[in-house]
Structure 1
Amino acid sequence: MTKTIFPFDSQISYEQRKEAMMQEPRLIWLTGLSGSGKSTLALRLEHYFFFKHFKVFILDGDNMRSGLCSDLGFSEEDRKENLRRVGEVSKLMLDAGLTVICAFISPSGEDRSAIKNIVGEQRFIEVYVNCTVEVCEERDVKGLYAKARKGLIPNFTGVSAPYDPPALPDVEVHTAEETVEESMYKIIKLVEPAISLQTLQAYYCI
């Protein structure tokens, strides 16, 4: 079990924080190509769990790169550092008792393993949003794939940079063949029991 250490000799234990939040904190990590449907699923998951009275928050490229990671570019080193910071922020949020949903391409298995180590293996749920490059490119309203194929965006995952798919994800969805609802069901079926405390279940049975 991951040992959670709080700074400043906090008098509130991790177990007490979980009880106060009435949930088991988990990091739900959605990985997949650009255009695979990660953000769509992340937003739907946040909505679902929020209205089931779980305490959830999304971290994605926009809210990280507009603030904490605004000093980073898109070199391989900066992308790795961006993900490392996402992992460290996620750990703090988990330690506070929140459940965090992350939607990042995160093409490297090494980087994803590093994030798992940061937050603790038991608190990490890997969701592989599997979708072919061809379908992702068809969905690309921003024209990123077209720019990448013209050489305007270097090191673009799926075009000029590789994607290392998870070998053993906790759950895998196929967004080219499944509806959003079908993919959501597969994720929720795994995640909801993992973040539910018995006290939470008992609370809503009163």
Structure 2
Amino acid sequence: MSERLSIIVVEPDRERALQIVDSLNDAGDFHIRILSEPASLAGNIRDHAPDVVLIDMANPSRDQLEELALASGPLDRPVAMFVDRSEEGLSAAAIEAGVSAYVVDGMEPRRLKPVLDAAIARFRMFQRMRMELAEAKRALEERKVIDRAKGMIMRARGISEDEAYALLRKTAMDRGRRVADVAEALVTSAGLLG
């Protein structure tokens, strides 16, 4: 995120929106854009690519909550949602939709900065976890391909697993490629031939 955070505030009530802007200005130096119409959220997110989205709602329905959360791009940025009242299960639905902070009992100016900080920290933590999970999945898939390639080499040459891996590694080094890439090429070409 940039040094000076850009924030889109979704608040239909003008007075309340100005109160939020004042609270944010008291808390730091932010570039703030107010949206009074939640229906235009997705387009504004796409056009302005804010660092954070703050949504203030009186009593959202499950559909409104999910629509607003998804429109605000919760996988791309922290989303903090302030609601006056919340039906049972809505906070869980908000978190499942990707909202980084879901605060019941509305937005209080003194709580705005700590909630914003918590939403950003939580978003970054989940972003790291998503990246680590994707890396682990990629590594597992590569391991499976390497194992398949080793098995093919072992059968074709009548050699041990260690020797098959050594051959894969030497071929990769000779060609300036990764072992997983050489294994993938071998598995793919064998699939074309078989």
Higher relative contact order (CA 8 A, sep 6+): 1
- Structure-1-length-normalised TM-score: 0.39
Q: Over alpha carbons, which structure has the higher Rg? A: 2
**By percentage of residues, which structure has more helix?**
2
